A and B are shown apart, each in its own frame.
Chain A
Amino acid sequence: MGTAPRYARPFVAIFVGMVVVCALAPLNLWPFSNWELFSRLRGPVESYWEAVVEHHGLVVDYTIGPHTACAPLLRSATDRFGLATDVRIYHVERLLSDRIGAHEEPPYRTLVATCTAKGAGAPS
């Protein structure tokens, strides 16, 4: 009555084994996580890519992936904001230490390309 079921020992071995294997491999077979949260060092520079679209006289910017091609970028901009004539792609770098208290300095933006219906153009 009070003894553990026959499957208990193999269950514990396999279950705990899964936790160990997923961490060591590492595999993220959720809920068997690899527990890698915040494990890699962060540097003082945060860099990302930004698309900028002019929409009804307003400038709208949003983050994009590092290797986004022009055609899908124009398509998604047209879907979101109506007919987009051009989308400018910027590489943005933010120096995290570049701040005084809660006030942070604006990031450094470099124009990488301009996407138009004719294709991509390098900055002049």
Chain B
Amino acid sequence: MRRAEGWIFAPDDARRLAGVRIGLCLLLAYRLSAHDFDALAASHVRFLPHFYMDVFAHMPSPDLASALQALGIAAALAAGLGLALRITLPVALVCGLILNGMLNSTGRVMVRDALLMLCLAVIIAAGRAAGDVWTVRAPNRTAFGERYGWPIRCAMVVIALAYFFASFQKWRYSGFAWVTSDNLRWILYAQPHPNGFALFIADRPLLAHLFAAGALLLETCFPLALFVSRLRWLLIPAVLAMHVAIRIALGLDYSAQGLTVLIVFVNWPVVVDWTRRTLAPTPAPREIAR
């Protein structure tokens, strides 16, 4: 337990936390802009409030949905720039929760943006530390300490648990039959209009078993990415590939989840330093002194 606590609360570079803040805020702004929430509000779908959406007696009006969307996008962009973080980050999160709550209150709860919202909540909990560097006011400041490390590691643990529990539930309810039965084939065939990629897999039982085994193995083993940093080079591209394959085969958009994994696990100061070194002009070779 102490080792786990020592790992979570190890000091880190402030720029890494700032990179995660910028990435998640830009992703939230994009996700909020990608949906037509006022059309959803105007469509008179049956309002089945999920969890906290019980505070609303009916589906929020199209005007309220548009206002929340605009406010949420503006707040997320301002938070990405590091402006008034104690206000902009919570406002962006609340707008995201209500707008996603609208989508979840139409009869089907969507998992896809859940990890993004959870990781944003962790960044809010980081307080001022998330805005110490890489902000409009302090673009080049650097800092290092314990207060910058724990939010990143907490977000990593949440992500690892999300993938692990996705596999845990498969083991729990279906067991190894999730791989050995024709389950994945039936999932692919059950779509109203399966595309060529879905049919290519579904028509080949062995390939379907391989895809199912790969997905289950990947989700079960994902927590290893926390402890064996070299495995991140394998597990994170594999998870992204899985989400792309799901998008193509089933039309389900888990891009927010995949990008959240990428944003949280990438060491942004290393990427920025490497890019600067690579792009810096190479000094001309000096004339050898006689």
List residues of A whose CB falls within 8 A of some B CB.
1-5, 7-9, 11-12, 15-16, 19-20, 23, 26, 28-44, 46, 96-97, 99, 101-102, 104
Q: Are A4 and B147 in contact (CB under 8 A)?
A: yes
Q: Are B145 and A3 in contact (CB under 8 A)?
A: yes
- B113: chain A residues within 8 A (beta carbon): 31
Q: Are A31 and B166 in contact (CB under 8 A)?
A: no
- Of the residues A5, A19, A29, contact of B127 by C-beta under 8 Å: A5
User: Is there a chain A Cβ closer than 8 Å to B251's Cβ?
Assistant: no
Q: Are A35 and B158 in contact (CB under 8 A)?
A: no
User: Is there a chain A Cβ closer than 8 Å to B279's Cβ?
Assistant: no
Q: Are B165 and A23 in contact (CB under 8 A)?
A: yes
**A48 to B7 alpha-carbon distance, docked (Å):** 51
Q: Is the interface of B mostly helix, strand, loop or mixed?
A: helix
User: Is there a chain A Cβ closer than 8 Å to B47's Cβ?
Assistant: no
- Of the residues B121, B143, B144, B173, contact of A39 by C-beta under 8 Å: B173
0/1 interface trace, chain B 124-157, chain A, CB 8 Å (1 if under): 0101000000000000000111111110001001
Q: How far is the CB of B103 from chain A (nearest CB, A)?
A: 10
Q: Are A16 and B145 in contact (CB under 8 A)?
A: no
Q: List 11 A-B contacts (CB under 8 A).
A: A2-B147, A2-B148, A9-B5, A15-B121, A33-B111, A34-B169, A37-B111, A41-B183, A42-B186, A96-B186, A104-B189
- A20: chain B residues within 8 A (beta carbon): 161, 165
**A30-B50, A37-B111 provided; 17 other pairs, C-beta below 8 A?**
A1-B145, A8-B9, A8-B150, A11-B154, A12-B8, A12-B150, A16-B154, A30-B109, A31-B97, A31-B113, A31-B115, A32-B114, A33-B114, A40-B174, A41-B178, A44-B182, A96-B186
Q: How far is the CB of A106 from chain B (nearest CB, A)?
A: 14
- B154: chain A residues within 8 A (beta carbon): 11-12, 15-16
**A104 to B100 alpha-carbon distance, docked (Å):** 35
Q: A96-B186, A99-B189, A102-B199 are in contact. Are A3 and B114 (CB under 8 A)?
A: no
A-B pairs, top 3 by smallest CB distance, nearest first, are A2-B145, A39-B169, A23-B165
- Of the residues A1, A19, A23, A99, contact of B169 by C-beta under 8 Å: A23
